[in-house]
Structure 1
Amino acid sequence: MSLHDYLTQRGGAERVFELLCRYFPHADIFTSLYDAKNTIDLGDRPVQTTILQQLPYASKYFRLLAPFYYPALRALDLQDYDLIISSSSSFAKGVRKGPGAKHICFCHNIPRFLWDTKVYLRGYKEFQVFTPIVAKVFGYLRKLDLQYAQEPDLYIANSTTVSARIRQVYDRPAVTINYPIDDSKFIFSESKENFYLVSSRLLSYKRIDIIVDAFNSLGWPLLIVGEGPERQRLEAKAMSNIRFLGYVSDGERAQLMAKARAVITAALEDYGLVPIEANFSGTPAIAYGAGGVLDTQVPGLTGLFFKSQTADAIREALLQASNIQWNYAMIRNHALDRFTEAVFFQKVGNCAGWWKP
Structure 2
Amino acid sequence: MKIAIIHEWLDSYAGSERVLEQLFAIFPDADLHVVCDFLPQGERGFLGGRVPRTSFIQRLPRARQWFRYYLGLMPIAVEQFDLSGYDLVVSSSHAVAKGVLTGPGTLHVSYVHSPMRYAWDLQHQYLRQARMERGVKGALTRWLLSRMRAWDFASGARPDIIAANSAWIAERIRKSWRRESVVVHPPVDLEGFPFQAAKGADYVVASRLVPYKRIDLIAEAFRRMPDRRLVIAGDGPEMARVREAAGDAKNIEIRGRVSQPDLVALLATARAFVFAAEEDFGIGMVEAQACGTPLIAYARGGATDIVQPDTTGVLFPHQTTESLIDAVTRFETLAISPEACRDNAQRFSRDVFRDRMRSLVQDALAARGMAA
* Larger mean Cα displacement after TM superposition, 131-140 or 238-247: 238-247
- The question of whether the paired residues in 1 share the 8 Å contact of 2:26 and 2:358 is answered with no
- In the alignment, which of 217, 222, 226 is matched to residue 230 of structure 2? 222
Structure number with greater Rg is 2
* 1:114-263 equivalence runs, <5 A: 114-116=119-121, 117-125=123-131, 130-219=137-226, 220-239=228-247, 241-246=252-257, 248-249=259-260, 251-263=261-273
Cα 1:310–1:115 shift into 2, 3 Å: same
Residue 75 of structure 1 is matched in structure 2 by 80
CA displacement 1:76-105 (0-9 Å, x = unmatched):
233332221111111110112355111111
Matched, 1:343 2:352: yes
Cα RMSD of the aligned pairs, angstroms, is 2.6
Deviation at 1:70? 1.0
Work out the CA distance in 1 between the residues paired with 2:12 and 2:194: 24
CA displacement 1:110-166 (0-9 Å, x = unmatched):
111000201233433378653211111111111111121121110011222222222
- The question of whether the paired residues in 2 share the 8 Å contact of 1:114 and 1:141 is answered with yes
Residue 266 of structure 1 is matched in structure 2 by 276
SS state at 1:32 partner: strand
Residue 308 of structure 1 is matched in structure 2 by 318
- In the alignment, which of 2, 21, 25 is matched to residue 22 of structure 1? 25
Deviation at 1:61? 4.1
Cα 1:230–1:311 shift into 2, 3 Å: same
TM-score, normalised relative to structure 2:
0.85
* 1:84-95 equivalence runs, <5 A: 84-95=89-100
Work out the CA distance in 2 between the residues paired with 1:169 and 1:147: 10
Work out the CA distance in 1 between the residues paired with 2:230 and 2:34: 36
Matched, 1:42 2:51: no
> Which stretches in structure 2 are left out of the alignment for 5+ residues?
366-370
Residue 56 of structure 2 is matched in structure 1 by 51
- The question of whether the paired residues in 2 share the 8 Å contact of 1:81 and 1:98 is answered with no
Work out the CA distance in 1 between the residues paired with 2:204 and 2:354: 30
Residue 368 of structure 2 is matched in structure 1 by none
Matched, 1:327 2:337: yes
* Larger mean Cα displacement after TM superposition, 288-297 or 41-50: 41-50
Work out the CA distance in 2 between the residues paired with 1:9 and 1:222: 30
Q: Give the AA of the match of 1:245.
A: G
Residue 302 of structure 2 is matched in structure 1 by 292
SS state at 2:9 partner: coil
- The question of whether the paired residues in 2 share the 8 Å contact of 1:122 and 1:205 is answered with no
CA displacement 1:25-45 (0-9 Å, x = unmatched):
332223223332396752543
TM-score, normalised relative to structure 1:
0.88
- The question of whether the paired residues in 2 share the 8 Å contact of 1:18 and 1:40 is answered with no
SS state at 2:10 partner: coil
Q: Give the AA of the match of 1:42.
A: F
Work out the CA distance in 1 between the residues paired with 2:11 and 2:130: 18
Q: Give the AA of the match of 2:113.
A: H
SS state at 1:214 partner: helix
Q: Give the AA of the match of 1:242.
A: E
- Of all paired residues, the percent bearing the same amino acid is 33
- In the alignment, which of 98, 101, 124 is matched to residue 106 of structure 2? 101
Work out the CA distance in 1 between the residues paired with 2:245 and 2:7: 37
Q: Give the AA of the match of 1:343.
A: V
Work out the CA distance in 2 between the residues paired with 1:128 and 1:17: 38
Cα 1:227–1:92 shift into 2, 3 Å: farther
Work out the CA distance in 1 between the residues paired with 2:43 and 2:125: 25
Tell me how many residue pairs correspond in the alignment.
355
Work out the CA distance in 2 between the residues paired with 1:275 and 1:226: 15
